[in-house]
Amino acid sequence: MNDNLISLKGISKYYLAGKQKIQILKNISLKINKEDFAVIMGHSGSGKSTLINILGFLDQKYDGTYKFHGKNYQQKNDNVVSELRNQNIGFIFQNFKLIKNLTVKENIEIPTTYSIKNDDKDQEQELNILLTKLGINDKKNNYPDELSGGQQQRVAIARALINKPSMIIADEPTGALDSQNTKDVIELFKNLNNNDKVTIIMVTHDNTLATVGNRLFKVNDGVLYED
Ligand SMILES: Nc1ncnc2c1ncn2[C@@H]1O[C@H](COP(=O)(O)OP(=O)(O)OP(=O)(O)O)[C@@H](O)[C@H]1O
């Protein structure tokens, strides 16, 4: 199967520094298929976050063409793009980005506030399945501060998965984790990719993770290479 999910053609991105236009991404072309687990590496400041912000529809200001499932969303209004993001993409960050004064359960349910309402009972069941799968079912009513780093990242992963996204974008998801938790997160990603057919795009600085996916990309000074 070679089902195309993402197609970038000639993507360039510029920022203004005073009057000077600085090119951050340089003519990037790329295809990612549904079954891919793509790892993106590169030096600090090379443009990785800029690239995944575009892939995740967090940034619509770029030159070139981005097609998702064969469709171009660059000119669509914010509501259409938010819905697309909410229903298709789960985001995971290095620092978890959990909300401190919400419980684990409440944090995970945040994305469902904006989606078409499931039956409350279905949602509760869905949440329990997810928490059990991630080994944090006993932490449902705890606050993020009461959890270890590895547990907090699993909460963030549950939040990313609650709407059943077709794609996960993970920016340094293991950057704040020890080696055992890193292994667990990668195993989970592999499982999601293999069994649940979730596309994974993961940025990492960790050389030991270069080969965990089936695709390896390197960004060097705004230019993308496939290894
Ligand atoms: N809003 C902005 N305005 C101006 N320049 C920016 C902006 N955001 C990013 N940059 C610049 O774009 C370049 C690429 O940044 P980006 O965050 O994509 O790098 P990165 O590869 O993700 O780095 P890191 O590994 O440190 O997270 C950097 O030189 C950065 O300073």
Per-residue pLDDT of the chain (227 residues; tens, 9 = 90+): 568 999 999 999 999 989 999 999 999 999 999 999 999 999 999 999 999 999 999 999 999 999 999 999 999 999 999 999 999 999 999 888 999 999 999 999 988 876 655 667 777 888 998 899 888 999 999 999 999 999 999 999 999 999 899 999 999 999 988 899 899 999 999 999 999 999 999 999 999 999 999 999 999 999 999 98
* Any ligand 1 atom below 6 A from CB of 24: yes
Whether ligand 1 lies within 6 angstroms of the CB of 49 is answered as yes
Which atom from ligand 1 is nearest to the alpha carbon of 47? 18
Burial class (CB in 10 A: 0-12, 13-18, 19+), 17: exposed
The reported pLDDT for the residue numbered 115 is 62
| Model pLDDT, residue 3 | 87
Q: CB–CB of 103/143 below 8 Å?
A: yes
> 60: which DSSP letter?
-
Q: Give the model's pLDDT for residue 5.
A: 96
For residue 41, the CA-to-ligand 1 centroid distance in Å is 14
Q: Which residue lies with its CA nearest to atom 12 of ligand 1? A: 24
CA atoms of 198 and 72, how far apart (whole Å): 21
Amino acid at 42: G
Check if 50 has its Cβ closer than 6 Å to any atom of ligand 1. Answer: yes
CA of 128 to the centre of ligand 1 (A): 38
CB-based contact 135:154 (threshold 8 Å): yes
Residue 112 confidence (pLDDT): 83
Q: Which of 161, 166, 168, 167 is CA-nearest to residue 112?
A: 161
Whichever domain contains 41, its CATH number is: 3.40.50.300
Q: What is the pLDDT of residue 2?
A: 64
Number of domains the chain is built from: 1
Euclidean distance between the first and the last CA atom of the chain, given in angstroms as a whole number? 21
Q: What is the 10 CA–ligand 1 centroid distance (Å)?
A: 19
Coil, strand, or helix at residue 107? Answer: helix
Asked if residue 20 has its Cβ within 6 Å of ligand 1, the reply is: no
Considering the entire predicted model, what is its pTM? 0.92
Domain of 81 in residue numbering reads as: 4-226
- Protein residue with its CA nearest to atom 16 in ligand 1: 47
User: According to the model, what pLDDT value does residue 166 have?
Assistant: 94
Helices (H), 89-144: 104-109, 120-133
Ligand 1 centroid–CA 63 distance in Å is 17
Ligand 1, closest atom to CA 53?
18
